[in-house]
Amino acid sequence: MKLWKKLSGMGVAAVLMAASNLCINASKVDGKMLYVALTVTFLVEALKLASCIAVLVASPPTSRLWLGWKEAMYFAAPALLYTIDNNLAFVILRFIDPATLSILWNLKILTTAALFRFVLGHKLGKLQVIALMLLVLGVITSQSNHAVHRGVQRVVNGTTSMAAVELDERTKFMLGIALVALGCTISSFAGILSEYALKKHPATPFFVQNGYMYSFGLLFNSIGLLASAQTTIAANGFFDGYNSWTWSVVFIQALAGLMMGFIFKYLDNIVCVYTHVVAMLLTMLVSILFFAFELTLEFACGFGVCAISMYLYHMPSPGDATAPCHGTATSSSDEEYEKVAMVSDHSCRSSDATTVGSPHRRDTLRDDDDEV
């Protein structure tokens, strides 16, 4: 894959991610979401699954259309986590604004780094540790002058109590922080499991793999609807409270999901982090222009520190410049992509060369893919 294609994919994904948060915020009526969030994520999963099926129907037949149950189950865990994570975004935006969420969501680097270190066994270089410390500093700085959200007023007995409003907003903000921390952890787990599942069998077509993942996602969202919103939907209807912004959220999140699947399949989680940085910048700019988000000195400085942290996090450590790369966390994203591309190309050539061979040979190749 050429660099411009790689950057184009990142840019498109970043625009979609930023637009999703902004459209969710715009879909509110008098600051409230009148629709059931689970119905949106259900439609998103259904639209993504329909897109995969449409592509597969229009494409030449493939022998990898049906996966074994063991391979298929690799997509169940990330689908469950994404179901929780996608619905959690609606809840978080009830407590904090989109620009603040985009800044705080970069704490995902901390949880991702922790999972890489303690779950996958990857080590972090000194420069990466410094970058993580800078990230924490940047987030704290950006929120050090957090003010009461504009337009929020609490009327008590016909009078406005600013102290009560400030206390209520402080409580909402702290709850939002806790939800962001939970969301970052879930999102990191989902990203790691998705990348592992998509790359474990590189010869399996992209839309086949994602079709299985979205099928599980649709199943889990259906269970969520039946468990928590069945009464509300039966009383008011499935599309109650929907407006044009809500439908925009459905289509944008479906496209964003497909783009993120592409990144996990052909790139990696590090590129995903870069995408979040661009989305953060876009969300902040649009929030300033259209949502009256106040650009304070603290926010600007914190944003700058976060951006520097992102840059340093992905630079190779001085001691690793001449070290051989064996898939460690300190290797650059370009090197990681080249390795994945080589594995994918080799597997695809092997699969094509043996389609007319014996069943025993095809089984052997499938086992080899498992070992990759």
What is the per-residue pLDDT across 64-102, written as a single tens digit (0 to 9) for each? 778 888 888 999 999 999 888 877 877 888 888 776 776
The residues, ordered by sequence, that sit 6+ positions from 228 with a Cβ below 8 Å of its Cβ are: 38
Query: Residue 149 falls within a domain, yes or no?
Result: no
pLDDT category, 166, cuts 50, 70, 90?
low
Q: What are the pLDDT digits (tens) for 256-306?
A: 999 999 988 888 776 777 787 778 778 877 877 777 777 778 778 887 887
Query: Residue 95 falls within a domain, yes or no?
Result: yes
Q: What is the pTM of this model?
A: 0.70
Query: Residue 319 falls within a domain, yes or no?
Result: no
Query: Residue 58 falls within a domain, yes or no?
Result: yes
φ, ψ dihedrals at 38, nearest 5°: -65, -30
Query: Residue 132 falls within a domain, yes or no?
Result: no
Percentage of residues in the chain having pLDDT higher than 90:
19
Instruction: Determine the average pLDDT of the residues in 342-359.
Output: 44
Query: Residue 208 falls within a domain, yes or no?
Result: yes
Please report the pLDDT score of residue 351 as a whole number. Answer: 43
Report which listed range, 24-33, 101-110, 116-125, 340-349, is most confident. Answer: 24-33
Query: Residue 148 falls within a domain, yes or no?
Result: no
Instruction: Determine the average pLDDT of the residues in 183-209.
Output: 88
Q: Domain total for the chain?
A: 1
The answer to whether 154 and 164 are in contact (CB under 8 A) is yes
Q: Domain range for residue 208?
A: 35-123+167-267
Query: Residue 10 falls within a domain, yes or no?
Result: no
C-alpha to C-alpha distances, 317 to 49, 110, 121, 167, nearest whole angstrom: 41, 18, 18, 44
If one counts every other C-beta atom within 10 angstroms of the C-beta of residue 289, the result is 9
